[in-house]
Structure 1
């Protein structure tokens, strides 16, 4: 049944604006200053600040048969922080391991109450054209490259890697060891990225923090995820609005370590209301990014595996 979230606070260009939003099932139908002329059921949103459901990167989801432990991890590390989509990164040492590791992670995430997609982490030395072609076939949306020493960057045939990627743009996110001097790495990596026109970033995103708009574009999730917009899916958080809440980015990334959403909605269904969490095992779906890389007007939208 359609309903209106009336006069809720949204953030645009670091300023707070008031909107009314018409929701129908799992789709945002309209967004305007008010819908006083409409007679749908209304929810008073005037006391709330709305953010999109966050997307978190995760390196450490433990594969375990203990469902209660899985449930606890999901609640504490993701749901209570307003995360409605996980980018789960699995570590792979060899090409032959990849398909098996993907099967195991998919099996583990079948009970996830929120959506997910699976990326991989591979040592730079193991990044080969054949490995890239396999990732393309398996529709891997993100390759995280583990770099142990700076000199490894000079030992890769980047031209061959670029040719193997074509025409897709699976993003490379570098993760460097602490022994590498960051400024030297960034200079070298930036040169490689610009020369070969890779989709990448300079700094590895932190675990369990909302991914930025730029990163979501590179993965292929934005604007389907990470924004409240007409035609988008209904994934949002509602925080008790306080003028002292600091707006740190355009999408109102409040301090998720200090503020817990009052209400969380995932794909049109309430995930959290007040103190109560509605843990629906298996409600999460795997997202497949048909075209990883920076969002373009002619790109193919993401698809959900049912």
Structure 2
């Protein structure tokens, strides 16, 4: 389907800035081109960049019929990363574009930041750091993650890895997912739970779901009200799953102990609503942004294309 003369267009900025990945791709596809703009490509800019390419490696770019209809030469798209909420699968089918996807390539990176956030929130590190930075010498007492109940909403590769890490702290583990992995659950002593049980019984709630029509708005004010006032919640999956406004309101009322968001309804986001909230961790969608994860994601995207070489 592809040959060494095929043009591969890399829209991903992280991939394009990685010398190791560039060289590996060029060794198989010497005519590859890279996004050097430092910007996420969209609409006409995306079409212009992909024009003439038989294959593309993309990340956060929106792939829909408006784009694909103008790219008759494009036959393959290889995903750099795991999120597919920006992909119109019906459009791929309509325009006969093969889609390559590699779930799990950034699982450890996201799971590690989830664990670090959970420990930080329980120990009230954001509050202590802010007070200390303001010249206050005080010690707000936190809690240990050891022995606490940890629940995930979405037990895919990332959710599973997070639970696995938490198992080393002798946590009680709970998981809500439409497709429970009974073998994995048995190995780590994970209790298959309803959404309500995870929210109501967990000291730490971590969301690891894809954004779909079924999950959009899934954690709204009603669901947030189930969380214990001593518990923390984290979203490191996709914005739009967790109701930001309801989350902020609940925290301001003291109905939960803290939260961490790595993803937002709109990115880049407006930080104004979060100002002065205690015990909050906000990061700019960095869950999968480690050297190791970028290498894993890039190598997987490349291998997917080299496997199609004639």
Q: Which has the higher strand share?
A: 1
State whether TM-score is above 0.5.
no
Instruction: Tell me: higher relative CO, structure 1 or 2? Use CA pairs within 8 A at least 6 residues apart.
Output: 1
Q: Which has the higher helix share?
A: 2
- TM-score after normalising by structure 1: 0.30
- TM-score after normalising by structure 2: 0.30
